[in-house]
Amino acid sequence: MRQLIPGLLFAALWASASAATKFGVQSVHPLILAEVRFFIAGGGMLLFAYGIQRAKNAWPTTTEFKQLAIFALLNTTIYLGAFVLALKQVSAGIGSLSTATNPLFIALLSAVWLRRMPRWNEMLGLLLGLVGVGVATYPLLQNSFATVEGLMILLGGMVAVSAATVYYASITWRLPNLVINGWQVLLGGILLLPFTFIMASFEPTAFSNSQFDVRFWASVFWLIVPVSVAALQLWFFLVRQDPIRASLWLFLCPIFGFAYSYLLMGEPITLLTVLGTTLVIGGLWLGRQGKSD
């Protein structure tokens, strides 16, 4: 019961990131959207932690900075950078569905980390999850709501965020959640800068096509406050309670995500969408069998 309200709220907020990103990339290049989000969110959280809360003994040591940089590279630079790039080419619903495969990759990477052979149910669960994403994606590929390139970028991001979760759980963190979150988002934005300058054109003619309009700033606000701040704080709370049980709340992300994409983006929900989502959830359930309570 202690995880019920935080878990439900996390799933609802985390799933909303796909729809918010989909709106934002209609105005500017995906990486520009990501950089604005990271620098405002990371800087704002650190300003609050150090300037308003005046957190004591909360400045990272050299070792902690290295740990934060590794976490930021996986969780923010690679995962969220890939996520915004992919959302330019795939539907918001598929973005949320891919997030739900996270526990399967976490189980597989945890097995590698602990140097044990993955269990048969973990491997079969991962296979079912990937097949489910493929089934749900097929009609969207046919109707130009997704591309193969976008799906590959999304897959790479999911591997990265799963590795980030395993890495985060392996560290005994001394710093408060807000400080960890602030630094990893800010450092992730800094590490993403070279890719942004390469991929996003800053020529006057190209940059003038960017629309820093109400849609853009509404997307940035939503991605910062409910997602980067609230949802990640809830996620860190859940992971610290129990990383395996925390991952189970990602089961709900596809349900929320497809609801958002249908209601807000007008993206289709077909029989294959339902079947694919069912396969993903079935794979998640199978992959969790045999886990200790």
- pLDDT tens for each residue of 40-99: 999 999 999 999 988 888 999 999 999 999 999 999 999 999 999 998 888 888 887 777
pLDDT of 289 higher than 50: yes
Q: How many domains, the chain?
A: 1
pLDDT for residue 180 = 92
Comparing 123 with 19, which gets the higher pLDDT? Answer: 19
Q: What is the mean pLDDT of residues 253-272?
A: 83
87 in a domain, yes or no?
A: yes
d(CA 37, CA 156): 21
Length of the chain: 293
Interatomic CA distance for residues 271 and 259, integer angstroms: 14
| Predicted TM-score (pTM) of this structure | 0.78
Phi, psi of 269, rounded to the nearest 5 degrees: -120, 115
Flag whether 204 is in a domain: yes
Q: How far apart are CA 44 and CA 219, in angstroms?
A: 17
Residue 41 resides in a domain: yes
Give the residue numbers spanning the domain of 94. 4-288
Residue 115 lies in a domain: yes
Backbone phi and psi for residue 104, each to the nearest 5 degrees, phi listed first: -70, -45
pLDDT attached to residue 209: 56
Q: Is residue 24 part of a domain?
A: yes
User: Which position has the token pair 């996390």?
Assistant: 10
User: Residue 197 corresponds to which tokens in the numbers above?
Assistant: 């300058």
17 assigned to some structural domain: yes
With pLDDT > 70 as the criterion, what percentage of the chain qualifies? 88
**117 is a domain residue:** yes
* 177 confidence band (pLDDT: 50, 70, 90): confident
Calpha distance 235→9 (Å, rounded) = 10
3-state helix, strand, coil in the chain (%, to 5): 80, 0, 20
Judge whether 25 and 88 are in contact, CB under 8 Å: yes
Q: Residue 122, Cα to own-chain centre: how many angstroms?
A: 21
Q: What is the mean pLDDT of the chain?
A: 83
Q: Which of 167, 149, 161, 151 is nearest to 105 (CA)?
A: 161
Q: Taking 80 as the threshold, does the pLDDT of residue 246 lie above it?
A: no
Per the domain annotation, does 293 fall within a domain?
Answer: no
Phi, psi of 92 (to 5 degrees): -65, -35
